[in-house]
């Protein structure tokens, strides 16, 4: 039997030849038995892929001598398949290990192998580059060393209350990554429990992840854009509604929240006289003043909900006195004229304010209540907050049936709350309609709309 250049001991050669003779003389003859001889060639050191072909003349001679020449082709095919299978199984472990090492070291995915205590035993360059350190510096450190502190408890829960007790499976998480330079990134990571292959072998955790910082920032930007006004940068109506609904779902029973509904007076005159560019700059200037008050006091959210309308939301728990104080502060931002394209424009606003129980009340009804309060503000010319009039005594000739109907609907949808000194009971207290401040437009005739 040819050995393709490999000198076999006589005893090995005889054993292989004897194997072939037994297969070819067996009754019934099974061509598939050739796979066993192919494996035997590999075990004897004949690992060259050409070994089955080189052995064909010897096998054909044996087959002819025992009267099996007509079926020798099937036997040779099986021999080749057996040879290839055994090479894959047992002759190439070092080659497979080399390929796996190449994959591990050069994978674009971050890969780490750790023990069940969360210590990293080995990590590839992609993970090291993601963190900003050398691969060797990762050996022996804890996964918590590069996880954001706020994520530690979530990681602990996934690993030690789910994955490791189960002894199998994979958990997935999206977590913040603290880089070596202190910057924060984001990564998606799957952690798989790998059980030891033999009794006494340790179990491992295998983590495979990817840096998704760019995707996260893109998603965060889209989320921000969807919830902020592009002109002023303030939160928009959607943001406001989501915040109100969140407070409504989580607030304690009886907790009060406040809303101040601001509407710029005669803003249309600015647009009509000076153009929409000036109007936009006025809106941006007003928004900047309102936002500055929010930053300074950090006691409310200010949102632009459309056109020249703004809403301040005072989170629960609050009080009517606090809401009234905030509404006075908001009114104060209109004391100084707005400068826009060389125009000095005194801008005034009407503010409708309510203080009401927020638990289980929807955002739409609360905004409608504040809007109804705004109608009272527009009828009240005082620069200070005043109690809302009795809704049952509203002068429909001046306010209009729409406002009355809206306020009555709001009143009916909220529990009754006694207000000392008030002729009626009302939990929606548009008690505080501030800010129709100075109604006059000062300045030069060129820059000022007529009163």
Beta-carbon contacts of 439 under 8 Å, excluding residues fewer than 6 positions away, are 265, 348, 381, 451
DSSP secondary structure code for residue 158 in this structure: I
The DSSP-derived string for 40-56 is HHHHTT--STTHHHHHH
Beta-carbon contacts of 10 under 8 Å, excluding residues fewer than 6 positions away, are none
Mean pLDDT of 154-169: 92
Q: Which of 325, 88, 275, 126 is nearest to 207 (CA)?
A: 126
- In order of 267, 284, 343, 419, the CA distances from 442 in angstroms are 15, 21, 11, 39
Contact 29, 78 (CB under 8 A): no
CA pair distance 425, 418, nearest whole angstrom: 5
Q: Which of 280, 292, 298 is nearest to 229 (CA)?
A: 280
* Domain 104-217 fold: Beta-Lactamase (3.30.450)
Q: Is 350 exposed, middle or buried (0-12, 13-18, 19+ CB in 10 A)?
A: buried
Apex 182 CA angle, 181 and 183, nearest 5:
95
The pLDDT of residue 386: 39
104-217 and 227-413 have identical folds = no
pLDDT in tens, 337-383: 999 988 999 998 888 888 888 887 777 777 777 666 666 656 654 44
The pLDDT of residue 7: 53
CA pair distance 338, 54, nearest whole angstrom: 96
pLDDT in tens, 297-320: 888 999 999 899 999 999 999 999
- In order of 137, 334, 369, 398, 402, the CA distances from 408 in angstroms are 69, 31, 9, 16, 10
pLDDT in tens, 242-274: 999 899 888 888 889 888 888 899 899 999 999
CA pair distance 300, 330, nearest whole angstrom: 11
Q: Supply the pTM of this predicted model.
A: 0.55
pLDDT of 278 strictly over 60: yes
Q: Which of 241, 215, 208, 248 is nearest to 226 (CA)?
A: 241
> In terms of pLDDT, which residue wins out, 447 or 288?
288
Tokens of 282: 């006025």
| Torsion-angle region of 144 (φ positive above 0: left; ψ -120 to 50: alpha; else: beta) | alpha
Confidence class for position 448, pLDDT limits 50, 70, 90: very low
Beta-carbon contacts of 391 under 8 Å, excluding residues fewer than 6 positions away, are 404, 407, 408, 411, 424, 426
pLDDT of 164 strictly over 90: yes
Residue labelled with tokens 């700059």:
281
> How crowded is the C-beta side of 402, counted as CA atoms within 13 Å?
4
User: What is the overall mean pLDDT for the chain?
Assistant: 79
pLDDT of 5 strictly over 70: no
Contact 408, 400 (CB under 8 A): no
Beta-carbon contacts of 234 under 8 Å, excluding residues fewer than 6 positions away, are 228, 287, 290, 291, 302, 303, 304, 310
Mean pLDDT of 143-149: 89
Which residues share a beta bridge with 114?
120, 205
Where along the chain do its domains lie?
A: 10-91, 104-217, 227-413
pLDDT in tens, 415-429: 333 333 333 333 333
The pLDDT of residue 16: 82
Confidence class for position 14, pLDDT limits 50, 70, 90: confident
CA pair distance 185, 216, nearest whole angstrom: 9
Which class is 227-413 in CATH? alpha beta
The percentage of residues in the chain with a pLDDT greater than 90, rounded to a whole number, is 41
The H or E element containing residue 211 is: strand 204-211
């Amino acid at each position: 039997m040819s050995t393709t250049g490999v000198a076999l001991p006589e005893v090995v050669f005889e054993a292989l030849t004897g194997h072939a003779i037994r297969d070819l003389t067996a009754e019934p003859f099974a061509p598939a038995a050739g796979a066993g001889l192919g494996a035997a060639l590999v075990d004897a050191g004949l690992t060259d892929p050409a070994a089955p072909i080189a052995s064909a003349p010897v096998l054909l001679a044996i087959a002819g001598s025992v009267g099996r020449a007509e079926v020798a082709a099937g036997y040779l095919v099986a021999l080749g398949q057996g040879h290839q299978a055994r090479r894959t199984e047992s002759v190439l472990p070092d080659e497979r290990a080399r390929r796996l090492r190449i994959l591990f070291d050069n994978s674009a995915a971050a890969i780490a192998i750790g023990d069940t205590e969360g210590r990293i035993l080995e990590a590839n360059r992609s993970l090291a580059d993601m963190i900003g350190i050398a691969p060797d510096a990762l050996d022996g450190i804890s996964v918590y060393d590069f996880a954001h502190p706020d994520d530690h408890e979530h990681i602990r829960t996934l690993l030690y209350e789910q994955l490791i007790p189960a002894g199998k499976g994979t958990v997935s998480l999206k977590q913040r990554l603290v880089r070596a330079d202190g910057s924060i990134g984001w990564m998606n990571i799957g952690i798989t429990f790998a059980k030891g292959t033999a009794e006494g072998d340790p179990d491992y955790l295998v983590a495979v992840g990817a840096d998704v910082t760019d995707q996260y920032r893109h998603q965060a930007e889209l989320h921000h854009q969807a919830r902020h006004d592009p002109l002023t940068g303030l939160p928009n109506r959607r943001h406001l509604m989501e915040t109100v609904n969140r407070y409504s779902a989580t607030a304690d029973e009886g907790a009060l929240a406040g809303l101040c509904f601001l509407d710029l007076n005669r803003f249309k005159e600015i647009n009509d006289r000076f153009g929409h560019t000036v109007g936009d700059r006025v809106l941006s200037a007003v928004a900047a003043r309102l936002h500055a008050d929010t930053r300074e006091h950090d006691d409310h959210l200010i949102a632009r909900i459309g056109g020249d309308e703004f809403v301040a939301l005072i989170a629960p728990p609050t009080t009517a006195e606090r809401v009234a104080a905030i509404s006075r502060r908001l009114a104060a931002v209109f004391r100084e004229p707005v400068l826009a394209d060389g125009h000095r424009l005194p801008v005034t606003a009407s503010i409708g304010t309510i203080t009401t129980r927020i638990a289980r009340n929807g955002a739409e009804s609360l905004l409608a209540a504040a809007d109804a309060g705004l109608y009272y503000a527009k009828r009240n010319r005082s620069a200070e907050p005043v109690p809302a009039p009795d809704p049952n005594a509203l002068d429909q000739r001046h306010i209009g049936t729409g406002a009355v109907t809206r306020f009555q609907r709001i009143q009916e949808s909220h529990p009754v709350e006694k207000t000392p000194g008030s002729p009626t009971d009302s939990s929606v207290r548009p008690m505080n309609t501030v800010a129709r401040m100075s109604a006059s437009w000062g300045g030069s005739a060129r820059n000022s709309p007529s009163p």
